[in-house]
Each structure stands twice: as C-alpha cells, then as structure tokens.
Structure 1
Amino acid sequence: MKLIKWFSAAVLNSYAQLFFSNNKWFGLILLSITFLDFYVGILGLFCVLTTLVLAYVLGINQYSISQGFYGFNSLLVGIGLAIYFKPSISLVILISAAGILTLFISLSYEGFLAKYGLPFLSLPFITVFWLLRLSTRQFQSLGFSDRGIYVLNELYSLGGNKLVKIYEWINAFDIPSAIKAYLLSLGAIFFQQNVLAGFLACIGLFLYSRIAFSLSIIGFLIAYFFYTILGIHFNEVYFSYIGFNYILTSIALGGFFIIPNASSYIAQIFIIPIVVVVSISLQEIFNLFNLPVHSLPFNLVVLTVLYGLKFREDNRIGLSTIFWQQNSPEKNLYFFNNYTERFGNESSFPIYLPFYGEWVVTQGHNGEYTHKEDWKYAWDFEIIDEDGRTYKNNGLFVTDYYCYEKNILAPADGIIEDIIDDIEDNPIGIRNLENNWGNTIIIKHTEFLYTQMSHLKKGSITCSKGQSVKRGDILGKVGNSGNSPYPHLHFQIQSAPYVGSKTINYPLSYVYLKNQKKGKLFQVIIPEKGDKISYLTPNLILKKSFHFIVGEQLTFKDESGRDVLWTVKRDYYTLVKYIECEKSNSKAYFRLDDNMLQFTHFEGDKKSMLYYFYLASYKVSFGFTNRLELSDKIPVNMVFKPYSLLIHDFFAPFIPFLHCIYHLSYPDVNTGLISKPIKLKSSIVKTFFGKKVDSIEFELEEDQSGIKYLKVHNKRSKNEKWVVKS
C-alpha cells in the first residue's frame, strides 16, 4: 500500500513538473487535461509508468523519482508520439522503448549539467522526440493520427454532450486574439490545440502559484507585443506552437530558478525578446529537417542565463538564484527573504568576544584616535562602573583600571601564529611609540582570517607559537604596553598573519548589547563607540533541553494519552539537521550551535505537535539575562492559511503586507547552574499592514531532565498541552 501511494505521488509530480511544481492537485489537473484525448492520456501515462518503474528497479535515487524529475520528460515523449500516430501495438512498443530511452538520456543530461549546477529541463524530451521523429519515418506499421482535427467527436467519446457543451460554451465567448493565443499556448505544452486544455491549465496554474500565473501572462504578453512591434506575421495556432516557450521561460527565470522580485519581473522585458529571436531562428533551421523546435528555445535561453549568472562577482541588480528549491515561487520567495534577513549578514566563520563579562567600546571603527586608514576596522575595549568611569580612585596607576589584568580569551578556534610578550607596561599617560602594538597575540582561524589582541601585560601570555587553542581558552591578561596611555584591549580582525596587518571589516557573533535599560541580543554586529557589550554564557538547562543530537528520540504524551515520537535526523546530502515526527511524518529543520537553536523550515502537518514546537521554539538562545526578549520573523506561508495568501502572493515580490512576528520572553532570573525549572513564553503575531490580526501563545518548561511540556493557546481554538514522557 505504501509503495502504491509512493508511485501515485511520483506519477502526479511527473505531470506537475511540467510547470516546475510538485503540487499533486496541480498534477491531477494536468493529468486530466491529457485525457481530453483518451488515447493520448493513456499512452502518456503508460510512458511515465515505464520510466518510473524502470528507475525504481534500477535503484535510482527515490527522492528524485518521487518528485517527478525523470517522469515529466517521458510524459512529453509519450503524449507527443500518441498525438502523431494512431493507437496500435506497434505504438505501445515504441512508447515503452521511448520511456526507457528517456530515462537514460535524462540521467546523462543530469550527470553532465549537475557539474555546473544546472537543471536538465526538457532537453531529454527534445533529444528523444527528435530521434524518434526521424526514425519513425521508416516505420511503415505506424499510421499518422487524425486526432485533433475532429475535436468535437473526440470530446463526445470522452465526456458525452456535457463535455461538448462546455467546450462550445468556452468557444462561444468572443475571446480576444491575445488571450486565445495564450490559452492555446498553454494547451500546446500537452500537444493539444484547443482552448479548453489551455483554460484548465490556466486554472491549475493559478491555484498552484499566483506568481507563476502572473509571470506566464507577462512573458506571453511581452512576446506578443514584440511580434507586433517588429511586424512579425502573427497566427494564433502557429504562435501557440512556440508560445509556451515564452511562458515557461518567464516562469523559470522570473520566479522559479531566480527569486521573484521587481528585478526578476523587469528582467523578462529583456529576456523574452531574446527567446523570440532564438525561436524564430531555430524554426528556420529545423524546418529544413521537418522537425519542430518545441521547447528548445526555452531550454537554451534558461540554461544560458543561469550559467551566465554564476560568473557574477556581486548581485547588484537583485537577481538572486535559488539555493534551496521548494518547487513553488511563493515558497522560494518567502523562504529566501526570511533566510537572508535572519542569516544573510552572518560570517562564514564566527568570531566571538575575547573576554567575559560586560565591557564598553571606547574606540570603534574609524575611531578618532588611532583607528585610521589601514587600521580603521578595530575596537578598543574597557570596563566601566555605574558612573561611567574606567578606573577607581584617581586613576593614576594601572591597577586602578577595572580592565587591567582581566583575562583575555581566544575569540574562536585556531592556531597561535605569533606572540610578543616582553614589553613593559607604560605608566598612565605615557605611550611607547617604538613598540606600537605592545604585547600581542595573533591567532590564525582559517586561511586569510586572523585576529590580533594587543597592549597585553608582559609575561601574562599563557600560550605559545604554533599551539592550537579553542574558543574561550585563557590566553593572557590586559595590560598597558605599547601605544597605550591607559589599560585597554585592542582587538582587530585581519587577513594577514603579521602584527599590525591591515584590518578587515568583519562582524562579531552572538553579542548582547545593553545601551539602555533594555538590552538586545545580536547574532552578528559591528559594535560602535559607547556600546556596552557582553557574551551571554549558556544556561546548562536550556542547552541540554534544546541541544538536539542526531539519533536522539523524544516521546511526548498528548492530552488523550497517546504517545508522539520524534527522532532527530540529518539529511546526508545537505547535512541539514531536522526533527521528524513518526505519527504525522512532519519535519522541522533547524540550525544549532553552542549558543542558539534556530528553526529554518517546516514540512508536513500543521496540526501536529511538531509544528507547534517549531513555532514555540523558533529561536532560543541558551544564554540569557534578566527579562531578555528575542524577536524574529517567520515566513508567512508557515502561519497564514493558503487562502489568506491568494491576494498577497501577487504583491509579495514587490510590497509584502502580511507578516508573522515571533517573540520569546525569558524569566526574571538567570538560574545558571541552579536546578530550578525555566519557563519560556513565546508568541506568534500575525499582522496586516502592521496591525495585529491574530496571535498564538506558547509556554515551554525545561528542567535538568530536558523539556517537560509544551502548552499552546490559540484564541480561536482550545488550549492544548503535550507532556514529555519520562
């Protein structure tokens, strides 16, 4: 039963993939379109099944099979042959052979193009179909079909008078030439030259994706007007044979392989005319061989543009390519915007504060004293008291300064590159200009990433050159050596291994900023002068509760007493970790480090406990201080109902007006090593043009044994509570 369900999904996805989708309802609509000609529908389905069964038997990647990646080209080959030839045993044999050939051609294209990070699109279909069109000229047992000529007879045999009346009702409308050509172009994707097929495909496309629907119209109209402007002869039927190239190109480069936004929409104004020129040129060439161009223009232009974009040094015009394909322009857009807003500024290798406790930035980037020119990206740190002073007594001695002899820590894992540890401290107000940097430690973290800590105390450095260090290791103490009139820590990040090398603009990670009564935790930040900053030491209870390990299992009990089992897993292709619910088959993807748990994506049942846990603990810092509050944004498609997004989807690439805000509140007291349970309260607030329209509230309790329970309070439904089974 499970295998049948899996194959059914693979079949429907094979149809949906014609429009880059894995929406099974859309696939069902497209499947029904092929059955407007019963024999075409049957033979197209047969070709798909041939490919899928063979791929399964050969042990091809099951995920790729189930997503329809290998089936949609076979579908096009199958229905193409079924349209051209009369049903016969010979045709069935030919189509089965075509399905087998298409699979191996698809795998070959995939293997070649994957090296360049490119999709194989419908190149397998074009290759196989051309081969068969050329070879079948010698197959005398195959008779050419006259289907498509007597449309009413075919519709009557399929659906009787009702289907004929629907077709006549649609044709009775005085449809403008452009709209009719658009619908015929959609139908031509399935080799069907009738408005009904295009109309059904149009409805399915709208239900699947409003962005794809709008792009299909935009791409088509640009081509239509380009024909008009250049005076190219226009014929509805002829145009529809190549018109789908403009539709598919616009969807692909406007919202599927490229994130849909104003730039991607505007880009179609320049891309679609290129497709028109390529289409007309190729048609002239292939007419010599009596072969149709089919989707070749679409393939050539899309692959050329995607490949060309890989050579950019920056994304100055906003054409961002997909890095996690979700088979929906809307999902791609919402995920991309959310992910880049949350993680777009983070560094590839995090550098943390080189000290414990709260310090203040007394000189930041482009500082007024010494942080100039090549050394402008640096910080000076000191410790101040409640009155804002950096010293006690009268500050005449180095020992009066609060930061003097405080421990300096390794800001990240690395190897000690260089050390200076023989320069005496200066008396207050005196500078040692001959030894500008004073006692210094240089750490190599990665190639071209080094940190330098200077003005340390003589003889305080505890590490040696070439030694490996871990983040948080004590390396030395703050002093007053070098060009330093009073004790402070000079800290800079650089790309070279030498003392005093040119600095680079690189952020610090996981910094708690407290400038007013209320502080804020930053994942990455460039601290400025006057900022009071500190590192929040992880709370052991929170770290144990949320530090999920691959293979770990958690069992919850719902209010009815039923067990709900979760397992922590890893995708071994992407190395992304996720929690999977055995009952609902849902998955919650997350990022985890020593400081924080952050969920990035959810797939599955939005009534499951895992979904509510994903929302409740969307972002959890293991370290916290009194009344710390965290906030973040959640993609709107993760919270809003699909029907609520119908209108918003059209505007989302330009002006999104729906938002989901996550908020997490910590208790008053940081329990640290104390075993007292911790209650976290979080909420999800949905807004419309900035105004609150709905909310969900959560409560999570943790103790030394881990997560104890999750409570959910939704104003529109009853409260629910899940308890961890011990």
Structure 2
Amino acid sequence: MEPRPWWRLPPFWEGVLRWYGTILFSPRPLPGALVALATLGNPDWGVCGLLCALLTWGFGRFLEFPAVELDSGIYGCNGILFGLFVGSHFSSPPLLALACLGGSFLVCLLTRGFTNSVGALLKLPACSYPFVVATIVFSAFARSQEAAWGVELIKPFSYQTSFLAAYLARPFHLTAGEQAVRELFWFGSSLGAIFFQKAGWSCLLVGIALFTSSRALLALAVTGFAAMRAVCLLLPFAVPGQEVALGFNAVLIAIGVGGAFLVPGRRTLGLMVLCQAVAVPVGLGLAALGSRTGAEFTALPFNLLVSGALLMLQGRSFDAKPHLPALAFTTPEEAFAHYRRYQDRMFLRAVALPVFGSWQIVQGFDGPETHQEQWRFGLDLAAVDEAGRRFRTTGVTLDDYYAFGAVIRSPADGTVAEVWDQVPDNPVGEMNLKSPWGNYVLIYSAGIYLGLYHLKQGSVVVVPGQSVNFGTPVGRGGNSGRSALPHLHFQIQAMGWAGAANLPFLLTDTVLHGPDGEVFRPFSRPESGAVVSEIEAGDELRPLFLPANGETWRLRVTEGQEVRTVDWAFHYTLHGNVVMVENREDEAEYRLSTRSLEMVRFPRRTGSPLHLFALAVADLPFHFREGLSWTTTLYGRSASTLFRWKRRLLAVLFGDIFSLDYRKECLEHREDAAGGETVYRIVAGFPHRHTRGWWKDASLSLELPLRGFRRLEWRRGGQTLLVAERIAVEGQG
C-alpha cells in the first residue's frame, strides 16, 4: 500500500469536507473545503455548524445506521445547515446548547425517517427537508416563547451587511452600471445566504466552490437567479428585503433541477425556469406566513419545487425528456456527456443486419410510401450489386432480383414466436393486399419481437418455439404480401403478431458504402437510400487487445531530442473492461464488443503516448481492410482539450459540454517481402473546424503487426512530434 501524501487529510475528515460540498451537490473534498472556509465568515457560526454536523453523524453512528447512508453526506450537510442557523439566530448559551443537541438529534431523526418513507416509496431525495423542518420547529418555538414571556431568544438576523443594505436601499436614480452591480451584489449575497453568511469574502468563496465543483452548475446558478429576477420585475409590486431569500432559493433550484437531479438539456433548462416562476410566489407566501407565525422557512421553496418536479416526471416513458439519470454522476457535465454518447443505445435496441452482403435501405424510418403512423419505424431492404443495381438483367422476373432467394438470418439471439409460409410470391409489379405482410418470421428476443416480412413462399426453415442465435438462417427473401418488388421488410415491435406497431432501433456493426468509400459505424440510425453491409468478424486483431492481467508494455518514447521509457500496465475491471495505466499516473479504459473496440475512458493528459494511442484505436473495427474509415466522437473533457481557444473558453465558462469528431482510416501493407509480415496501420486526422491549429494539421499513425502493437507516430506537416515504440513485454501469460 502506497503511503498517503502529506497533504491528504485522514479519510474521516475528507468525508467531513464532502458533507460541506454536498450542500452544493458536489461530492469532492475541494469544493467542500472552500465552503467550510466560507462558513467561518463568522467563526462562531461555522463552529456551530461543524458541531451539529458531527452530532448528527454521531447519533446515526450510535444507532448503527447503514454506513453507506452516513457516508453519503445527507446527514452531515443537514447538520451543518442547522448548526449555521442555530449559531446565527441564538445567543443564549443554554438555549444554544439545547438547540445544538436536541436539534441535531431531530435532524438525524428526520433524515432517517424521510429516507425510509418518502425517499423509499416515492424515490425522492431528502435534499434539505430535515434542516428546513428542524428550523421551522425551533424558530416557531423560540418566537412563541418570546411572545409568552417577553424575552428575546432570537437575535436580529439579516442576510445583508449594513453596507450592502445601504447600497441596495437606493432603488431610484441608478445608472445601468449601478443596476448591474446591484444585481451582482444580490447574486453574491444569495450564494452566501445558503450558509447564512454575509461577508463578501465568504460569498466569493462559495462562488469559487461552485465553479471548482462544476462550471455548468455556476452557469445554471446565474441563469436561475436571472430568471427569478425577471419574474420579480414582472410583478406589479416591489419585494424589498426579500431579494436575497428568493435569490438563494433560486440558486438552489437552478443547480438542483437544472443539473444535479436531471440530465442537463434544453427541456431541463425550460423546466428550471418554470420552477423559478413558481418559486417566487411560493417564497413570498411563505415569508408572509412566517411573519405571522414566527417560523423561518429558509430553503422550503427549493425543497418543494425540486420534489414536485421529480414527482411530476416519474411514470413517463423511459426515454422521455428531461431525463432522470439512471446512474450517479459527479457533475452535470458528466451526465450530459454520458447521455449524448449513449442515449441512443440506452433508449433504443441495437440489432445487426438480418442479411448477408450489401443491401440498400430503399425505405427507412418515416418513409413516404408505407412507413407512416404506427409503422413509421420499419426498414425496407433490397440487395444490390457493386453498381447499386437491384437486379441482374432486365428485372422482369423475380429471379432477376438479388433479394429474391437471398438468405435471411436472425439478427439476434432469441426464440421463434410465430411463422407463416403459405402466401404465394407476387409477379413483379403486383401486390397482395389481402395478406399484406406476406410470409414472415417473428423472433422473440429480450422483451421485444423482431419481424422479418415478405419472405419467399416455402423458404421458412424454423418453427415456433425453436431457439435461434444471431446469424441462424430463418428463410429467404421473397415478394409476398404487399410487395411489388422483392425486398425484406424488417422491424422491431412490442407485440407478437404480424404487422404490430413498430419501434425505433439502431443498426450495429455496419459498413456504409457511399461516395466517401467504406465507412464503419459501430452504432447508427438507419438512413433511407444508404447501402449497408455487415462488418465481418476479425479474429486476427481482437487478441492484440486482450493482454494478460498484470501485463506491462515498456515503450521507448522519442519526443524532440528527449528519449525516455514509459510503462503501460494492464488490468481488468469487474465488468471485463481493460484498463491501461501509464506510469501509475494516467489511465485509459476500453471494452471489446464482438466486432470493434470501444474506448470507455480517455486519458486526462493531452498528448501523452497513452492519450494518442487511445485516440488511434477508439472504435477500431477488428475486420481490417484497406480504405475502411470511421469517425470517432469525443465528448466532455476529452474533446475540450483539443479545441481552439474560443471553444475552450466556452468550456471553461459553461463546462465540458461540447463534442468533437475526427476521422480514421485503415491501411495495410507488408513490411518486407522475405518475412511477409502483415502490418496494419491506422491513420487519424483531426479536420474539425473547432480543433486547435496544431492538432488540425497533425496526424497519428499506429502500426499493428499480428505480434501486437509496435509503433505510434505523431506528425505535424513534415515534422515528427512524438514516436512511441514497444520494446518489451513483461508478465505475458
């Protein structure tokens, strides 16, 4: 075990910092440390917040709550907020001690109760409900006792400093610049008010914490605050004294609805703005209620709006937008990049082509002829030759057509659900409207049905109940049913009868034949008019990317005049993915599908040998043939590092939310006539208009003999920038 660096805190105190970060929806210690410092704007309040957090966590530990729950930060963050409230509102030592001890236990009780009831049944996050309820209870208790006994228990509290109050008290005769400064002051005060802080440096630290946590969250906070202010300006009356209270709720709603609990997007942004419109009257109404009852409702508008939005979005279709994330992400940028990269595969079934050879999609999704309404997601496929012709000679007879009699196979593993093989094939140009679906095979696979229609009469070779694998022949192409020319109608459907309404899907492991040559697509939406074929399996290249667990490659890296050695160590995850570690500093992760390599995680160090290798092999097809090209799309931070300065600046301001495409091509040559060794080469270029100049002019070349990776070269113009050569392999099985 490696020793802990001197600057690292013990695990428990790192967890405490995460409690502070959780208030801003960040699980990282650094934003938590900044927030913890911000709470020391008034040291007594900050200490009180930490004390209540430790008490809340300690009560849970004493009662043996699950460790995962306690470590999640929900107990600690609610304890911190309640302690800050107590420290800022109570000055009597006995009452302060009672509030800290009893209130912390109440927060612990409410957190556990909410998690086991509303959280478990309605799948709602606890947010800061425990803190809000405990605050209402203790503030109402103190105010009622003040009225009954004529004593002062709660000291006067305002979210604004005297300087800020004096500045903001000038509603008239402000220039445009002064109005902008006033709005900036209100926004900064709103950030500090989340933690009951007024000092300018505390508000600034909260803003920095939000920025270091996620630039997207900070951008959302600004947008949400601006939306709240716009709503206030539409009101026929002023809201003096409520700007900051409305502001910190607006900030929390913006980062909660806009990015923490939902996947960011246009609809998510629209929903967040609508929540701001509702939060203003809710906040003003609760403020009026609080003035009568003495209760302080603090962040209740935020909690109500977030819970209401999440409840409203439950029970929709799986792919409905805004998306409720199915996985846990540390930042909105990660969620956005993940859904942009995988959303088609998450929401659509991906299947292989049910045919061999090259076929043209003569009618795709939303086709103008018959693919409308409930049948909009069907494919009509016709076999073609190299010239794109559907028939051999005149096309007058059925046998002239390449699709007629062509083998039709199962596109996935499954069970045959239903077959029909009794409809005669139509002469060319005629259709059978009485039996429009003709002869067909329905295959049940993982909850859906795969429909293969217009098959040749008497060609079906499977029976209901028979298990089939991907590639199992099921029949031959025909011209039965509503089919004037031989073709295959292929669709995915939810119901198990012929002609049921169909569902959208993706094609996997296909080669698109077009004016740009052969283009490999691991996953693609079918396009009308496209000529596609299946990429063949490649048994030669796949083993090159299956190193032994613990294997290490030693590379000699030449960069300019510098020559050094680099080690790449390999290990496997529980999911079977391969992780490459460069000198124990940086990592890349990939998975092998049946026909290609998918890069799951790119290295963080731009331009390192491992980073260049990952760029070169991403989406590599194992069937390697000269001239085959493909495009890889980078998302998030992997893309931002390659952008020009303008796009990088936008990424700094709004987060890593952009993507970048780059093209690669396969080349094959023999190294020497004597040895006859086949060397596969990959050449990658970065012609994207937003790519940095020195990346746009650069190219990557990767050499892969059948003995394994040999050489990687990074060139720009006629200059070689970096060469990495494998010189040794250790730990090989």
- Fold match, TM over 0.5? yes
* CA pair 509-214 structure 1, distance change in 2 beyond 3 A: closer
Of stretches 708-717 and 536-545 in structure 1, the one that deviates more from structure 2 is: 708-717
Displacement of 1:498: 3.5
| Residue in 1 that maps onto 2:188 | 183
| Residue in 1 that maps onto 2:471 | 472
* CA pair 10-583 structure 1, distance change in 2 beyond 3 A: farther
| Residue in 1 that maps onto 2:407 | 407
Q: Distance in 1 between matches of 2:69 and 2:604?
A: 19
| Residue in 2 that maps onto 1:557 | 554
Q: Do structure 1's residue 274 and structure 2's residue 278 form an aligned pair?
A: yes
Of stretches 609-618 and 278-287 in structure 1, the one that deviates more from structure 2 is: 609-618
* CA pair 36-704 structure 1, distance change in 2 beyond 3 A: same
| Residue in 2 that maps onto 1:41 | 46
Letter in 2 for 1:388: R
Letter in 2 for 1:129: T
Letter in 1 for 2:331: S
* CA pair 587-379 structure 1, distance change in 2 beyond 3 A: same
| Residue in 1 that maps onto 2:115 | 110
Displacement of 1:190: 1.7
Q: Distance in 2 between matches of 1:271 and 1:319?
A: 14
Deviations 1:381-400 (A, max 9, x none): 224354836226x7787666
| Residue in 2 that maps onto 1:599 | 599
| Residue in 2 that maps onto 1:84 | 89
Displacement of 1:515: 2.9
Deviations 1:296-336 (A, max 9, x none): 111111211232133556999x7455455534344444444
* 2:331 pairs with one of 310, 328, 331: 328
Q: Distance in 1 between matches of 2:714 and 2:403?
A: 46
Letter in 2 for 1:381: A
The answer to whether the Cα contact below 8 Å between 1:345 and 1:524 also exists between their aligned partners in 2 is no
Of stretches 501-510 and 30-39 in structure 1, the one that deviates more from structure 2 is: 501-510
Q: Do structure 1's residue 512 and structure 2's residue 517 form an aligned pair?
A: no
Q: Distance in 1 between matches of 2:435 and 2:659?
A: 55
| Residue in 1 that maps onto 2:497 | 498
* CA pair 399-644 structure 1, distance change in 2 beyond 3 A: closer
Deviations 1:244-264 (A, max 9, x none): 112222332334434555555
Deviations 1:627-654 (A, max 9, x none): 211113212422435997774048869x
Q: Distance in 2 between matches of 1:15 and 1:637?
A: 25
Q: Do structure 1's residue 388 and structure 2's residue 389 form an aligned pair?
A: yes
Letter in 2 for 1:118: L
The answer to whether the Cα contact below 8 Å between 1:9 and 1:66 also exists between their aligned partners in 2 is no
Displacement of 1:712: 6.2
* CA pair 296-415 structure 1, distance change in 2 beyond 3 A: same
Letter in 2 for 1:42: V
The answer to whether the Cα contact below 8 Å between 2:628 and 2:665 also exists between their aligned partners in 1 is yes
* 1:125 pairs with one of 114, 131, 151: 131
User: Which aligned pairs between 1:13-92 and structure 2 lie closer than 5 A?
Assistant: 13-51=18-56, 68-86=73-91
Deviations 1:487-531 (A, max 9, x none): 6545444444334556555554333221335122342332434x3
Deviations 1:21-69 (A, max 9, x none): 2354332222212122223223323333455567678887777766644
The answer to whether the Cα contact below 8 Å between 2:380 and 2:487 also exists between their aligned partners in 1 is no
Letter in 2 for 1:475: V
The answer to whether the Cα contact below 8 Å between 2:448 and 2:492 also exists between their aligned partners in 1 is no
The answer to whether the Cα contact below 8 Å between 1:381 and 1:490 also exists between their aligned partners in 2 is no
* CA pair 489-67 structure 1, distance change in 2 beyond 3 A: same
Displacement of 1:122: 0.9
The answer to whether the Cα contact below 8 Å between 1:211 and 1:650 also exists between their aligned partners in 2 is no
The answer to whether the Cα contact below 8 Å between 1:660 and 1:685 also exists between their aligned partners in 2 is no
* CA pair 426-223 structure 1, distance change in 2 beyond 3 A: closer
The answer to whether the Cα contact below 8 Å between 2:419 and 2:464 also exists between their aligned partners in 1 is yes
* CA pair 61-682 structure 1, distance change in 2 beyond 3 A: farther
* CA pair 53-599 structure 1, distance change in 2 beyond 3 A: farther
Displacement of 1:110: 3.3
| Residue in 2 that maps onto 1:240 | 244
Tell me, what secondary structure is at the counterpart of 2:289? helix
Tell me, what secondary structure is at the counterpart of 1:19? coil
Displacement of 1:539: 0.9
Q: Distance in 2 between matches of 1:664 and 1:13?
A: 42
* CA pair 69-710 structure 1, distance change in 2 beyond 3 A: farther
Tell me, what secondary structure is at the counterpart of 1:567? strand
Q: Do structure 1's residue 355 and structure 2's residue 355 form an aligned pair?
A: yes
| Residue in 1 that maps onto 2:461 | 462
The answer to whether the Cα contact below 8 Å between 2:423 and 2:480 also exists between their aligned partners in 1 is yes
User: Which aligned pairs between 1:405-554 and structure 2 lie closer than 5 A?
Assistant: 405-421=405-421, 439-456=439-456, 458=458, 460-478=459-477, 488-499=487-498, 501=500, 506-516=505-515, 518-522=517-521, 523-529=523-529, 531-546=530-545, 553-554=550-551
Q: Distance in 2 between matches of 1:423 and 1:220?
A: 66
* CA pair 608-113 structure 1, distance change in 2 beyond 3 A: farther
| Residue in 2 that maps onto 1:249 | 253
The answer to whether the Cα contact below 8 Å between 1:541 and 1:702 also exists between their aligned partners in 2 is no
The answer to whether the Cα contact below 8 Å between 1:578 and 1:587 also exists between their aligned partners in 2 is no
The answer to whether the Cα contact below 8 Å between 2:90 and 2:154 also exists between their aligned partners in 1 is yes
Displacement of 1:443: 2.0
* CA pair 591-492 structure 1, distance change in 2 beyond 3 A: same
Deviations 1:646-687 (A, max 9, x none): 74048869x98x65333332224899xx99453334455675
Q: Do structure 1's residue 678 and structure 2's residue 680 form an aligned pair?
A: yes
Q: Distance in 2 between matches of 1:699 and 1:403?
A: 40
TM-score by length of 1: 0.78
* CA pair 501-48 structure 1, distance change in 2 beyond 3 A: closer
Q: Distance in 2 between matches of 1:424 and 1:466?
A: 24
The answer to whether the Cα contact below 8 Å between 1:625 and 1:669 also exists between their aligned partners in 2 is no
* CA pair 327-403 structure 1, distance change in 2 beyond 3 A: closer
Q: Distance in 2 between matches of 1:344 and 1:466?
A: 31
Q: Distance in 1 between matches of 2:62 and 2:608?
A: 34
Displacement of 1:11: 2.4
* CA pair 645-375 structure 1, distance change in 2 beyond 3 A: closer
Deviations 1:92-141 (A, max 9, x none): 6864665555345334433432544432211121233344556779999x
Q: Distance in 2 between matches of 1:181 and 1:250?
A: 16
| Residue in 1 that maps onto 2:560 | none
Of stretches 662-671 and 298-307 in structure 1, the one that deviates more from structure 2 is: 662-671
The answer to whether the Cα contact below 8 Å between 1:617 and 1:682 also exists between their aligned partners in 2 is no
* CA pair 501-321 structure 1, distance change in 2 beyond 3 A: closer
Tell me, what secondary structure is at the counterpart of 1:566? strand
* CA pair 681-38 structure 1, distance change in 2 beyond 3 A: same
Identity between Structure 1 and Structure 2 (%): 22
Q: Distance in 2 between matches of 1:716 and 1:329?
A: 38
* CA pair 562-388 structure 1, distance change in 2 beyond 3 A: closer
Displacement of 1:178: 4.0
* CA pair 556-227 structure 1, distance change in 2 beyond 3 A: same
* CA pair 32-335 structure 1, distance change in 2 beyond 3 A: same
Letter in 2 for 1:678: Y
* 2:206 pairs with one of 201, 206, 221: 201
Two-structure CA RMSD over aligned residues (Å): 5.1
Letter in 2 for 1:452: L
* CA pair 77-589 structure 1, distance change in 2 beyond 3 A: farther
Q: Distance in 2 between matches of 1:30 and 1:220?
A: 20
Of stretches 31-40 and 505-514 in structure 1, the one that deviates more from structure 2 is: 505-514
* CA pair 100-499 structure 1, distance change in 2 beyond 3 A: same
TM-score by length of 2: 0.77
Q: Distance in 2 between matches of 1:41 and 1:214?
A: 27
Letter in 1 for 2:282: V
The answer to whether the Cα contact below 8 Å between 2:75 and 2:111 also exists between their aligned partners in 1 is yes
